[in-house]
Every structure is written in structure tokens, then in C-alpha cells.
Structure 1
Amino acid sequence: MRRRFLAVAISMALSGITTAHADGFALKAKPRIAMVYFSSKTDGGWSQSFDEARAKMETAFGEKIAYVENVPEVTSVVESTVEQLIKRGNNIIIGTAFGYADAFKDLAKRHPDVAFLNAAGTANGPNLESFYGRTYESQYLCGMAAAAASKTGKLGFVAANPFGVVNWTINAYELGARKVNPNAQLTVVFTGSWDDPVKERAAATALADHGIDVIGQHVDSPTIQLVAQERGIHGTGHHRDMRSFAPKATVCSSVWVWDRFLIPEVRKIAAGSWQPAPNGVLIEMKDGGTDIAGFGSAVPADKQALILAERDAIIKGKQIYAGPLSDNDGKPRVLADQVLPDQDLWKMNWFVKGVITQK
């Protein structure tokens, strides 16, 4: 179905934007947005967070936004889907998958008058911008909540793969935990998959069997929280507020708030003032990306206040990876008065003191 994004009233909906400026990318026609989801819009995690952002964008702009679900990370399928959306008049395409990068790069070259944005992508260009959130900021706060809820100081974490964007969440989680309990330890299990409830259940069960009483996650499904609730322990969620799945267990969640980034970005595109970041955007908490949702009753009021104070500090510029920092072998990784640069964040392959990983 053809969906019209902007009409005459868009000047009010987009805060008075009515004319294009020569200092950025400019559309040739009225803006019409379409979104492409990797999985179902009700997957409970990653794609649902984008669909919830879409609803907020529709409210902000006063128009419906087209979307297509369950588009796999197969270049030919992505290209075919997006070509159809463009033929229907959509000229702002928002993708939601790392595996869309090659297709979006080719599409952007083929359609220089269309604006492309892609979450977790790696390709960028004059009309293409990839974006992702600094998830370590919100996971640091969830680590604080985990330590506050734990009676033993023994924490667990179920993650997909030891990639940089996963390792930075694990390390931040432990750094946050040690802000509350300097002796907290974090045992990590990698499943090898972003969304495999069977492996996630096995990992969470094994951690619980070893006396761990709070389990965090960087996997897509709510299985970790369900196991925590079944076992009478606690957990912290990822992607969305997992209290909807396990209200008794979940004490905090690292949640995506994509609308806080996408609404201003679309306004720039509509205004003709959009200048895609040449290396993509790594969004800070103050600009959208991620935030936290919680707290469960297991987090005492004084610790909730401490966590919220840290959140405020992060929004004001506190750096999670500020030195001095050493890895769990004692090797210096960030010197005093320095901050780990983004290029080193992306390739992080080490863990801080207190993190126990699979050998």
C-alpha cells in the first residue's frame, strides 16, 4: 500500500521545516518513510523495538509509515524489497540489520535521490548512514542493578558471540556491578547465536545451577528472564523492557529508544540539512540509542538513586571506558586520563577484572 508521509501540515509536524537548504542532502519530493525489519515486528526484542519507534514517529509526524517484516539478510531479497518500496514513492528507507549493509550500499548508489539509514550496518555514503547505540552505557547501569539485587555477588551473563559490540556490554556490566559491589564476579556463557531459545535456556540453567542469582544478557529472546523467574532468581534484559515477560525476575533492562535518534534525523532529511556521518553514528544515551527500564523491587531505593545519578552523569558526559583500566590478566588497556577511542571499542577482545569467560 502506498503510504504518504508528509502533507501540507508537515511544516508544523516537523517544527517549521518547509524549505531545503544547500548545506546537506535534499530530497526531490515530499518525504515518505519506509522501514524494513529483519524479523517479525512482534519478536519481543530487536525488531519490535523498531516497530515501537515507528509508532512514536507516526505520532510525531502525524502520518503513517510503511514497513515490511521478516526480510532476511540476503542481498537479493533486501534489494527486491526496497526497490518495491521506492517504486511506491518511499524516499527515506530505514533498515534494521547488519546483513543489509551490502544491499543498502548498492541501493544508495543506484538511487542517489533516496535517503538510506541502516541500524547496525557498516556501509556509509553521501545518502547512506549506518547507526548503532552505545549499549555499554545502559548495560553499565544494568550491571549496577544486578549487583544491587544480588545476595551473593555471583552474577551471570548469556551472550551470543565474543564480538566487540558484545564484549563492550559485558565489560561495562561488570564495571557497573563493581561500582555497587567491588567483589562482584561475572561468569559469561556464549551461545553462538543471537536468537536460540534452546541454547539460551541451557546456558541460563547452568548459571543458576552454579549459584548465580542474577543473569544479564546480550541475546534477542526473553528466555533468560523466563528461566530466572522459574528459578526464583533475577535477571536484566536486553532490547526491550523484559518485565512484560518476567515481572518478578527482571530488575532492569537495557532498552532501545530509536525514536529519540530517528525523529531528529528524519527532520534533517526533510529540511535538506542532513549530512550523513562518513563513518556512521554511534549514538550516545543523551541522543537516543539505548536507555534503561526498571527497577524491580529487589533493587533497594538507595541503589536506585545511585543508578539514576550515574545515568545522569552519563548523559552529562561521563565516560564508561575512562582510564586507568586493565584487563583480567592485569595488562593496562586504558591509561589514566585517557578514554578508549571508538576504533578500539569496535574491536574490543579483552575483558576487565572480575569477568570469567569460557576457555
Structure 2
Amino acid sequence: MRNPITLSTLSLAVSLTASSVLMANVAQAKPFQLEGEPKIAFIYGATARDGGWNEAIDNARQIVADELGYPIAVAESIPEDASALKNAIDLYVQRGFNIIVGTTYGYSDGIAQAAEKYPNVAFVNASGTTNADNLESFYARTYEAWYLAGIAAGGVAEGDKLGMLAGFPVSVVNWDINSFARGAQVSNPDASVSVLYTNSWWDPVKEGQAAKSLLEQGADVIANNLSSAAPFTEAEKADKYSVGFQLDMSANAPKGHLTSVAFHWDKYLVPTIKAIAEGTWEPSEYGAFPGLAEGVVDITPLPDSVPEAVKQTIAEKRAAIIAGELTPFDGPVLAQDGTEKLPVGESLSDEQLWAMDYLVQGTVGGGQ
């Protein structure tokens, strides 16, 4: 089950700007001080081993346990309901747990209320929108890795057509689609990406049908911004390439898997929890937004089917992004209809990223 930001993200994105995303009422004067020895609780909105979003976080939980050795508890399938979350957090706090890790946007308000109720407990929340003196929400610059995946896809396509499946037309999805398309144009300037939104985060039947439709339209590569295996199965049957998301999806497409944009949440969670334990943690008032430079997101190793020249380009672009010398959205940035969104010589700000409600030139469609 894919649950990156939950269905509630659709309503969030309608009014979302960077001033409201990861916003806070934080006036941090000094580092947060944890009371007692660290005891950590991870709270999931679905099953932890869901094959997608939650599993990526759960992989990080296991690394946290191995590297830091603190007691860790897990609660699965806690609804994105304020009372259900409150009950889970209350129970953990009563049992002495003082670091709570939320895993979904839908917990944002509830976890903010808990942070206010328990000022001596540390909270972090994946894809959340609330922050406080003892709460930090976090997400990743996924578009950086999707740009690299796009370069690989454009470099192996026999023609100029690629396809991409996505859930909803919200900013955190649009920036993945747009960066993938811009990356594809690095290795193939004539490349175009046909886009289909499924209006669901998890619908294997619909995703399989959408992938088949894109393949019938001539797509040589299917990029899947969701997490069911269906699109990979369709690509394999058509003897075409595929790109995965969240986890290494190569097992779903042993012949045609090109790469996956994978999360490594331990690169955020391990140092953050360590800082909490050491009394040096200062939550950002805008939340944490790490990317390639921090190792929180990256692409999986490329197969031999990717030409060496393309691999070299990817390595150079990756190094430039990490060094802060390049972003996937350096101007000019043009929308599908040719409208200039950013002039040459400028780069999109975080505010502009969070407000991205358009697809760029080089993409086609965007309907269901």
C-alpha cells in the first residue's frame, strides 16, 4: 500500500504554498532537552511492510535500532483520525516512550496537538505540515533523484516516448513528473513523457490498465510514481523498461527494471534521533527537506543497458546537485502551454516547488 502523504494531500495541495507547507510557530531559543533515556515509538497509518511508503520508513526503523540501540516499539494501522492517534500516543507516553515518529501527512494536526500536550516528548513526522519546539516534520527532495532517473530513461528509449503514472496532480507529485521529463530531455532532447494520474495512491488494477495504455501509445519506458507491481508486470510483458519509486523495485521487473527512486530515511532519522538524545536537536521552523546531498533519496544502481556515456552524465549531474551547483529546475522553466514559469538564470525556490500546480514542456496529457 502506498501512503506517502495520504489521500488528504489532494485537498492540501489546492491551497498549498511554501508558506503553509511545513510551517511552524516555532521560536526555538535553545536545543530541545529530552527527559530520561530515549525510548522510540513508530506509528504507521497502515501495515509497516506494505511494499512501499511505510516499508521504506520501516527499513529505516531497523537501521535506527541497529545503529543506536534504543528501545523501539511499533504501532501499525493507526487511522488518520485525531482520537485514534491521540490514544496511541497517550499510551506510549504513559509507558515512558519519549520520541514519537509519525509516518504520514494525515497525522499532522494530531501530532501537533500531542506535541503541545507533551512538551518534554520529541516528535518527528514524515510528510507532515506542522512543527513546534518539540516537533519537526520531514520530507525529501524526490525531484532530484527523479531527474537522474529521467536521464537514464531518455538514454535507453528506442524512440522519443516515455510514460509516467502518478496518483494525484499535487505539488509533490508534479515535481517528480516534471523533473523526470527534464532529465529525459538531457539525454534525448526530443523526449516526451505522457502522464496519467490514477486519482489513487493504491489501485493495482487501475495502475496496470494505465501502464498498458501508455505502452500502447508507444512508451518505451514506464515510470511508476506509485508502488503496486502492476505497472512493472505490464512493462515486462511488453519487453519495455520501467522505473520504480520508494523502494528498490527491481524484483518486480527482473528484465526491464532501469532504476528506482528510493528513500533512505535512516539518513535523516539516525542523526536526528541521535541529536535528540544528546540534547543538541533544534527542530527547523519549516521542517526538514533533505535530498541527494543528505543521502535521504537517490537512485538505485543502473544496469548495463544504460550506455556508459549516459551513466557518466548522470554521475556528473548527481555530483553537481549535491554540490549545490545545479537543480533540476534551473531556468528557463516552461509550462506545457509555453507559459514561462521561471526565466533563464534563476532556479525555483522551495516556495515555488511546493506551489507547483503545472506540468512542464516535454510532458503530454495529465488526465486520468
The separation in 2 between residues aligned to 1:44 and 1:227, in whole angstroms, is 18
Contact kept, 8 Å, 2:39 with 2:70, in 1: the verdict is no
Work out whether 1:77 is the aligned partner of 2:84: yes
Q: In structure 2, what is the equivalent of residue 92 of structure 1?
A: 99
Following superposition of structure 1 onto structure 2, how do residues 190-229 of structure 1 map, counting pairs within 5 Å? 190-229=197-236
Greater mean alpha carbon deviation, residues 150-159 or residues 265-274: 265-274
The separation in 2 between residues aligned to 1:29 and 1:240, in whole angstroms, is 35
Give the letter for the 2:81 counterpart. Answer: V
Contact kept, 8 Å, 1:222 with 1:237, in 2: the verdict is no
The separation in 2 between residues aligned to 1:232 and 1:326, in whole angstroms, is 33
Following superposition of structure 1 onto structure 2, how do residues 226-265 of structure 1 map, counting pairs within 5 Å? 226-265=233-272
Contact kept, 8 Å, 1:44 with 1:222, in 2: the verdict is no
Describe the SS at the equivalent of 2:289: strand
The separation in 2 between residues aligned to 1:225 and 1:187, in whole angstroms, is 17
Contact kept, 8 Å, 1:98 with 1:119, in 2: the verdict is yes
Q: Map Cα deviations across residues 138-161 of structure 1 (whole Å, 9 max, x no partner).
A: 000111111112111200000000
Give the letter for the 1:324 counterpart. Answer: P
Contact kept, 8 Å, 2:68 with 2:274, in 1: the verdict is no
The separation in 2 between residues aligned to 1:175 and 1:358, in whole angstroms, is 16
Following superposition of structure 1 onto structure 2, how do residues 33-112 of structure 1 map, counting pairs within 5 Å? 33-112=40-119
Structure 1 ranges of 4+ moved more than 3 A: none
Contact kept, 8 Å, 2:46 with 2:54, in 1: the verdict is yes
Give the alignment's TM-score, normalised by structure 2.
0.89
Q: In structure 2, what is the equivalent of residue 343 of structure 1?
A: 351
Q: In structure 1, what is the equivalent of residue 292 of structure 2?
A: 285
Work out whether 1:269 is the aligned partner of 2:262: no
In percent, how many aligned pairs have the same letter? Answer: 38
The separation in 2 between residues aligned to 1:38 and 1:301, in whole angstroms, is 42
Structure 2 gaps of 5+ residues are 1-28
Q: In structure 2, what is the equivalent of residue 7 of structure 1?
A: none
Aligned to 1:25, which of 27, 32, 35?
Answer: 32
Contact kept, 8 Å, 1:38 with 1:70, in 2: the verdict is yes
Q: In structure 2, what is the equivalent of residue 162 of structure 1?
A: 169
Give the letter for the 1:334 counterpart. Answer: L
Give the letter for the 1:231 counterpart. Answer: A
Q: In structure 2, what is the equivalent of residue 187 of structure 1?
A: 194
Q: In structure 2, what is the equivalent of residue 319 of structure 1?
A: 327
Q: Map Cα deviations across residues 266-310 of structure 1 (whole Å, 9 max, x no partner).
A: 111111111111111111211133111031332122212221221
Contact kept, 8 Å, 1:248 with 1:296, in 2: the verdict is no
Q: In structure 2, what is the equivalent of residue 6 of structure 1?
A: none
**Pairwise CA distance, 1:168:** 0.4
The separation in 2 between residues aligned to 1:122 and 1:90, in whole angstroms, is 23
Describe the SS at the equivalent of 2:130: coil
Q: In structure 1, what is the equivalent of residue 308 of structure 2?
A: 301
Contact kept, 8 Å, 2:47 with 2:54, in 1: the verdict is yes
Contact kept, 8 Å, 1:164 with 1:348, in 2: the verdict is yes
The separation in 1 between residues aligned to 2:261 and 2:308, in whole angstroms, is 19
Q: In structure 2, what is the equivalent of residue 329 of structure 1?
A: 337
Work out whether 1:151 is the aligned partner of 2:151: no
Q: Map Cα deviations across residues 4-45 of structure 1 (whole Å, 9 max, x no partner).
A: xxxxxxxxxxxxxxxxxx930101111111111222222111
Following superposition of structure 1 onto structure 2, how do residues 116-131 of structure 1 map, counting pairs within 5 Å? 116-131=123-138
The separation in 2 between residues aligned to 1:105 and 1:191, in whole angstroms, is 31
Q: In structure 1, what is the equivalent of residue 146 of structure 2?
A: 139
Give the letter for the 2:307 counterpart. Answer: P
Describe the SS at the equivalent of 1:283: coil
Contact kept, 8 Å, 1:241 with 1:294, in 2: the verdict is no
Q: How many residues align?
A: 338
Contact kept, 8 Å, 1:159 with 1:188, in 2: the verdict is yes
Aligned to 1:115, which of 114, 122, 128?
Answer: 122
The separation in 2 between residues aligned to 1:262 and 1:126, in whole angstroms, is 17
The separation in 2 between residues aligned to 1:286 and 1:38, in whole angstroms, is 28
**Pairwise CA distance, 1:64:** 4.3
Describe the SS at the equivalent of 1:241: coil
